[in-house]
A and B are shown apart, each in its own frame.
Chain A
Amino acid sequence: MAGRTEAILARKGEIMKRALGMDYAEFERSPIAFDYDAMMAAHGYSLDDIIAIQRAGGVGDTPLLELRNLTDLVRSYAEPGCGARIFVKDECANMAGSFKDRRASVSIHVAKAKGYEGVIAATSGNYGAAVSSQAARASLKCIICQEAFDSRHVGQPEIIEKSRICEAFGAEVIQMTVGPELFSHMLELLDTTGYFAASLYSSFGVSGIETLGAEVARDMVAITGRAPDYVVVTHAGGGNTTGTARGLRRAGATGTKVVSASVDLSGLHMASDTDFNRKSFTTGHTGFGVPFATWPDRADVPRNAARSLRYMDRYLTVTQGEVFYVTEAMAKLEGLERGPSGNTAMAAALSLARDLPREATVVVQETEYTGAGKHHWAQLNFARANGIDVRLGDPAGNVPGTNIVVPERPEQIRAKEFDLAKLRRSYVRNALEHAGEGYAPTSEDIEFLAADTNSTPEAIEEIVVGLREA
């Protein structure tokens, strides 16, 4: 009976309506379009309200640091006149060690205010720690569903550490083997417990990240006298890009370019039991970054508040070896020992800054905590033990799942540009497929797709015609 998973998924809308206290049906406009702005505003919290919620939760107002040594390192090999100033927002300073505390804090506040007994989230990442920590402060029960092991019961040290920290904060951690049924099981648990869905992708969660973008703009004005030229964001499910960009705009930084960055894991299947431990990044990679950009509504809520194509100006990919190298460099040159996944954007930023004029500014908007397991040495040792060829060389020779090529020199760190036109085309194809065979998009749909991909109605029309002819 493959029916159990399908049966619970068929009830997703009904379960999530109860578990979020929010009816997504009222925002639907057509099989393609929905009112995104109305959905984001429905919780009724202003940015100041969210700041107040986060202060009460011990979240936010993290230090923004200029990285003078890394900047000069880049200038040592950049073309004359090039090498932008590099900054980092030290989000590790949040309660549970990452920007995910911002995301969790609003959901937990809502759960408490609405009288739920507990909260549930499905995540193998820092978000689990954030939800567990905020739930503990709010005296709410907490269940975290994690994809933790392959079928041999072998788990990456980074994920095992995340299981540990959630349990340290008093959460019940459901450690599962590989498979997308993680989400259907979460729905079953929401249904049987009556708890609140602390989804990564609700408007509560994504609104909580807006304070990060607003703080980056405010801090950069204080330090340099103006908003940053570039903000680089580690990109997976899209919330980080979306929330940060929205916050920057709210703070008036409308000219700042938002650059998303992911670790290249192309070729690895995210639902494969054997591929699971052949990757050394559990998030911030293209295995989430690309599918969520091209179809955000694959999330656990009916409509995803994280819609990264709306907000990204560029999308860069880097290799696992480059990120591990940069993680080591940050510790040795800047005295910042931070978790590797959060440094994905830092690797991309070093490449970006090299090609920009010295006067330009680049902000990496997060760091994450580090510790046993959640550390580049532990991840590299694990990769080697699992048959990955770890070696020094040119990262251009990177093959995800087969090798990890650690750069010999910083000049070898070169982010690759991901073609946004390709992502937009995939998104439109997915939207048309989900609308159903034979559905003809209306002009309102075209407008929606243009807004949702940061494009124009004319460009969308062209894609639609191209897809019909293909």
Chain B
Amino acid sequence: MRCAAGDWVEVRYVLLEPEDRAANLPADTAAQPLLVWVKGFASNPAAGGEELQVETMTGRIVTGVLTDVNPGYEHTFGRPAPELVHVGADLRARLAAYRAAAKAGE
């Protein structure tokens, strides 16, 4: 992975090392550094893992290591949950039966 100056990239930096973190955190969280990912325009060419400066959308200059170039999104709807696929047919049938019974009773 490499970026050129001016590319839209993502960088990561350590905001707080474990010893700098807030008091009273659960042990699992306290053991981890607090990490930040932010996107911006690269100020210079860099390879993945190398430190560089970026200019963010608000114009802030942030330094971090390069983690992605032209970062996008991969989240999806995914496949239907098997536990839910019958819900529509079940409920429509129940509704129809209820309304038919109500009509018959009128």
Contact = CB atoms under 8 A, between A and B. Distances in A.
Nearest 9 pairs of A and B residues by beta carbon: A332-B88, A373-B75, A76-B98, A406-B83, A381-B78, A151-B32, A380-B81, A172-B57, A141-B58
Interface of A: 1-6, 69, 72-73, 75-76, 118, 141-143, 148-149, 151, 153, 157, 160-161, 163-164, 167, 170-181, 184-185, 193, 269, 271-274, 324-325, 328-329, 331-333, 372-373, 375-378, 380-381, 390-392, 406, 410
A84 to B, nearest CB: 16
A378 B37 CA distance: 23
A206 B60 CA distance: 30
Given A174-B38, A391-B83, 12 more contacts: A2-B21, A73-B94, A151-B32, A157-B78, A164-B73, A170-B57, A177-B34, A179-B34, A181-B15, A181-B16, A377-B77, A381-B79
Nearest to A370: B77
Contact of A73 (B26, B28, B77, B98): B98
B98 to A, nearest CB: 4
Contacts of B91: 73, 329, 332-333, 410
A72 B78 CA distance: 31
A328 B90 CA distance: 12
Contacts of A324: 81, 84
A372 to B, nearest CB: 5
B75 A273 contact: no
Interface in B35-72: 35-40, 56-60
Given A325-B87, A377-B79, A2 B29 contact: no
13 contacts: A5-B21, A72-B95, A75-B98, A172-B56, A176-B37, A179-B25, A181-B22, A185-B36, A271-B25, A325-B84, A372-B75, A372-B77, A392-B83
A159 B15 CA distance: 20
B36 A176 contact: yes
Interface of B: 15-16, 19-23, 25-26, 28-29, 32-40, 56-60, 73, 75-81, 83-84, 87-88, 91-92, 94-95, 97-99
B39 A167 contact: yes
Given A172-B56, A175-B38, A271-B29, A69 B22 contact: no
A151 B70 CA distance: 23
B58 A2 contact: no
Contacts of A4: 16, 20
Nearest to B23: A2
A380 B33 CA distance: 29
A273 B15 contact: no
B98 A273 contact: no
A1 B22 CA distance: 10
B83 A380 contact: yes
Given A376-B84, A392-B83, A333 B77 contact: no
B75 A157 contact: yes
Given A185-B15, A376-B81, A328 B87 contact: yes
Contacts of A325: 84, 87
Contacts of A181: 15-16, 21-22, 34
Contacts of B57: 141, 167, 170-172
Given A72-B95, A76-B95, A372-B76, A179 B29 contact: yes
A223 B97 CA distance: 28
A4 B19 CA distance: 11
Contact of B20 (A2, A163, A273, A410): A2
Given A2-B23, A172-B56, A180-B22, A378 B75 contact: yes
Contacts of A185: 15, 36
Nearest to A76: B98
A72 B92 CA distance: 11
A177 to B, nearest CB: 5
A409 B5 CA distance: 58
A255 B40 CA distance: 52
B73 to A, nearest CB: 5
Given A177-B34, A185-B15, A1 B29 contact: no
A333 B93 CA distance: 11
B58 A142 contact: yes
Contacts of B38: 172-175
B47 to A, nearest CB: 19
Contacts of B26: 269, 271-273
Nearest to B56: A172
A375 B77 contact: yes
Contacts of B28: 272-274
A161 B75 CA distance: 7
A119 B88 CA distance: 43
A331 B21 CA distance: 44
A143 B58 contact: yes
A160 B75 contact: yes
Given A173-B39, A193-B58, A179 B77 contact: no
Which of B60, B76, B91 gathers most chain A CB within 10 Å? B91
Contacts of A390: 81, 83
Contacts of A76: 94-95, 97-98
